Amino acid sequence: MKNIFGMGKIELEEILVAQNYPRFRAKQIMDWLYQKQVASFQEMRNLPKLMRLELEENFSIEHGTVISALHSKDEKTIKSLLAFTDGEMVETVLMKQPYGNSVCVSTQVGCNMGCSFCASTLLGMKRNLTAAEMLAEVIYNQKLLKNAKVTNVVLMGSGEPLLNYEAVLQFLHMLHDADMLNIGYRNITISTSGIVPMIRRLAKEALQITLSLSLHAPNNELRSQLMPINRKYSLDELFPALDEYVQLTKRRITYEYILIDRINDTRECAEELAHLLKNRLANVNLIPINPVKERGYKRPSLGRVQEFLHDLQRKGINATIRKEMGADINAACGQLRNRKQLLYKEEEA
């Protein structure tokens, strides 16, 4: 059975017309799927009964099922685990902020990048998500919001988005599509560990999205320790690609910098980082690490974090400390899924 969820309007119209239905039914179906987030054809009340039955016989609506959801006490953050038809699971997070509602999307099941501080990579990468599955993450969160709208999407869940390039690009178009989510590219952020050829390719798409680069260290030696990808694409290759990205898109790049106690939070590191970003169109986002039990890294004191921030600012670098959302459910990315996977393994044993 063909999955109707995530199908573009033109394809849907063609299918409907071939079955002798009028073209305008496509828009109605999309309205039910993406604006009203229904789960079955029976709920599509403005379609003739016979048509609903026929659709039901020929199509499925695959938008994942929720396995568990953690709500922060203030209800501003909801972290959910979704399962897809093959049983694979991903995490997605809804963050209600004063400026809008953000959804954090996973792009792969697990991750292969092997970053030493990250929980998503502990069990390796199972597979890429399809564009429709990424869309399902957003629609699921949209449904949680009821009347309010998802206004921002960040591709910062598990996975390396630029290693699932085609599907990610297709997903961006779906987010932007007026018949789907109607979200402006400026409200979409892609976070990458630094896949150089794909950054160059993305630059040529000239989309007005925000590129966020997970830097985490100001020199090759330390970055290679924290992020194995740096052994393949070192800072010497990465920065020319990022500079080209800025040149082609005229967009400022966000640099994510996790602060890990006594590893990359020293004054020398701040100094080196400021030097690296000097004269570059950059925003630094400092993120006190979410400690992952399996990894043994610690979070620096608040004083240390602020000192790092001021060291950067004194050198004229734009920097902010990332506001922490839902500290009470602040299991680091990937931990919810890992725990579930382990539970399943225990159940199977």
Name the residues that contact ligand SAH, by CB under 6 A. 113, 115, 117-118, 156, 160, 191-193, 214, 256, 258, 287, 289-290, 292, 332-333
Q: How far is the CB of 314 from ligand SAH (least distance, A)?
A: 24
- Residue 12's identity, in one-letter code, is L
Of the pair 38, 214, the CB lying nearest ligand SAH is at 214
Q: Dig out the tokens for 268 from the structure.
A: 């020398």
Examine the residue annotation and report whether 333 is marked as an active-site residue of this protein. yes
3-state class (DSSP) for residue 115: coil
Report residue 31 CA to chain centroid gap: 24
Q: Are 297 and 289 in contact (CB under 8 A)?
A: yes
Of the pair 130, 212, the CB lying nearest ligand SAH is at 212
Of the pair 55, 241, the CB lying nearest ligand SAH is at 241
Alpha helices by DSSP H, the chain: 9-18, 25-30, 49-58, 131-145, 165-176, 196-205, 220-226, 229-232, 235-249, 267-277, 302-314, 335-348
* Cα gap 202→28, rounded to integer Å: 33
Q: How far is the CB of 166 from ligand SAH (least distance, A)?
A: 17
Q: How far is the CB of 325 from ligand SAH (least distance, A)?
A: 12
Q: How far is the CB of 19 from ligand SAH (least distance, A)?
A: 41
Q: How far is the CB of 333 from ligand SAH (least distance, A)?
A: 5
Q: Are 255 and 320 in contact (CB under 8 A)?
A: no
* Cα gap 327→348, rounded to integer Å: 32
Would you report the helix, strand and coil content of the chain in percent, each value rounded to 5?
40, 20, 40
Catalytic residue among 91, 133, 137, 256: 91
Q: Dig out the tokens for 216 from the structure.
A: 């985490």
Residues whose CB is less than 8 angstroms from the CB of residue 305 and which lie 6 or more positions away in sequence, other chains included? 259, 265, 286, 288, 321
Q: Which residues are catalytic?
A: 91, 333
